[in-house]
A and B are shown apart, each in its own frame.
Chain A
Amino acid sequence: MSATTDTPAVRPAHAAPALPAVLPEPRQRSRVGRFVVRHPTIVIGGALLLAMLFIAVAAPWLGTVDPTALAPAKRTRPPSAQYWFGTDMLGRDVYSRVMYGARVSLLVGFAVAALSSAIGLLIGLTAGFVRWADGLIMRCMDGLMSIPPILLAVALMALTRGSVQNVIMAITLAETPRVARLVRGLVLSLRDQPYVEAAIAAGTRLPRIAVRHILPNTTAPLTVQATYICASAMITEAILSFIGAGTPPTIPSWGNIMAEGRALWEVKPYIVFFPAVFLSITVLAVNLMGDGLRDALDPRLAKRL
């Protein structure tokens, strides 16, 4: 601590107070009760997320009807015992559409998180280890990151047909540079660790060092990052669908339902309301998980944020 006062460091070090939080960690994992008390956000977020997963998987059996079935005679009915969330302007059952809509959001969120983590990890490892490629790779990542992610996704969607795969690919491309940058930073700092130097001195080959010594140390920050990417991907998907550049209108997604309810929202606010609530709760659940994981996996980062 004493060294920090005279160095012009942007972030003063804070190694000492973080230690106690690290040490008791491994033993508490086995005890469910303590885990709940210690990381309430993971438990609450996880429970909400599981509930949404259940809705997505079990959508056909949750008292839903065909979410695309038109019934013009019964359009814009308010919520009732028969139509729990009412019907939209084409007479489709909003409750069924919202239940099925969970599938798109969760699929996009998880797929983007997994894909951008995997691709970003590969790019970051390459940039961190292959010095001659570093400059070029990172300038490209800087360029991609200089385009606001939603705008980049929107521009990419304008190039292609609206489909769930294209939405996933567009958002993945927009999110990957952040992962790459994170991993590269980790690699650069881990390379100077004594155990990595020891491995190099022992003649261990580079790919083996990357897999055995670097990779395990990136999993914690990467998991946290992936969680936040999942949340932001869900919001981006909804935004893309909402402005008409995302999931095709034939597939019910929360963004689509809201886009279709837009024209009527001043008189029939429930069409927009229900998908909005489900979207917000799901994103909240993922963000809570992310905060909890960050506190649990990386106490130093937890203190910083």
Chain B
Amino acid sequence: MLRYAARRIVATIPVMLIVALIVFSLLYLAPGDPAAIIAGDQATPADVERIRESLGLDRPYVVRFADWLWHVMQGDLGVSIFTNLPVTKMIAQRVQPTVSLMTTTLLLSLVIAIPMGVVAAWRQGRIVDRAAMVLAVLGFSVPVFVVGYLLAYIFALQLDWFPVEGYTPIQDGFWPWLSGLILPSVALGGIYVALIARITRASMLEVLSQDYIRTARAKGLSERPILFVHALKNAAVPIVTVVGLGFAALIGGAVVTESVFAIPGLGRLTVDAILRRDYPVIQGVVLLFSFVYVLVNLIVDLLYTVFDPRIRY
């Protein structure tokens, strides 16, 4: 197990390197000459050339990539063109809202989607199953921001149950924090719930046709332990796989959800950076999110053995 874990961690290194190369190339290809921007309008070509040399922009691509990577590994993501602040610092200031939003969305989605999928599989072809699958298709089809506005209109503007927008830090109290996150989490969770509910149903359907489920029924076990203990545990591996892969949809959706609900997180930082063409910030956020995504899927891989001890490496 440990050897497998070590091998699996080592295997993510080339992937992360390629991600880094792609993300670095984005900045490399970005239009506009940073040296000319820094030099200003009054600068002579010689000045620009001097600044370019002092920034190391005249060096070859590979050298610049190695240099950049070296800094990234030390936590230095460069300096924002717009605010002149270190990108790492700007990201650190915005992490809490995004982590909060993703955590509540993840928990909420699992709590809704897994029972939904289990019950749909248990009542295959019945009205509950049909309804759950229609909901799942809707979850795939209605974009995050549409759900967001709909929820905000009904539950915040009309009913006044939750704040319309904004974010309250958790330091200011748990309930204010949570009440501000409920609508964004439901909006963001839509597609995630759809993904997880579908795979839960499919995976459960396969497990429920197995002999040991028949045995469990034959020995008089009631349905609930059969479904949620015997079956769900055996159906877990595809489900955790999709939970990991679907994390990409969660990250992409967070960018939009934070815009709709005016949550000052990493998503908002990304959108602002795009509108200002602040490439170092865009680069930093993309790199960070990709790193998190790879990490989540690494954890999922390692979890396989926990859910299914039959899997040995």
Contact = CB atoms under 8 A, between A and B. Distances in A.
> Is A bound to B?
yes
A15 interface: no
Given A143-B19, A158-B277, A243-B259, A280 B142 contact: yes
Given A231-B141, A243-B255, A266 B164 contact: yes
Contact of A305 (B16, B21, B199): B199
Interface stretch (B38-46, B86-94, B268-276): B268-276
Contacts of A159: 26, 29-31
7 contacts: A10-B311, A147-B289, A155-B286, A239-B256, A276-B150, A284-B141, A284-B142
Contacts of B146: 276, 279-280
Interface in A60-76: none
A303 B141 contact: no
Contact of A139 (B18, B143, B248, B279): B18
Interface in B195-254: 198-199, 202, 205-206, 209-212, 237-238, 247-249, 251-253
B275 A244 contact: yes
B294 interface: yes
Contacts of B112: none
Contacts of B275: 244-245
Nearest to A12: B206
Contacts of B140: 231, 283, 287
A8 interface: yes
A160 B32 CA distance: 11
A147 B199 CA distance: 23
Contacts of B210: 4-5, 12
A304 interface: yes
A276 B149 contact: yes
Contacts of B237: 10
A150 interface: yes
B256 A156 contact: no
Interface string A284-296: 1001100100000
Interface string A83-120: 00000000000000000000000000000000000000
Chain B at the A interface: mostly helix, strand, loop or mixed? helix
A274 B202 CA distance: 35
A283 B142 contact: yes
Given A154-B274, A243-B255, A269 B293 contact: no
A290 B114 CA distance: 23
A146 interface: yes
A305 B146 CA distance: 26
B18 A142 contact: yes
Contacts of A125: none
Given A242-B256, A244-B271, A283-B143, A144 B22 contact: yes
Interface in B129-185: 137-138, 140-146, 149-150, 153, 157, 164
In this complex, which of B141, B209, B259, B283 has the most chain A Cβ atoms within 10 angstroms of its Cβ?
A: B141
B24 to A, nearest CB: 12
A133 B14 CA distance: 16
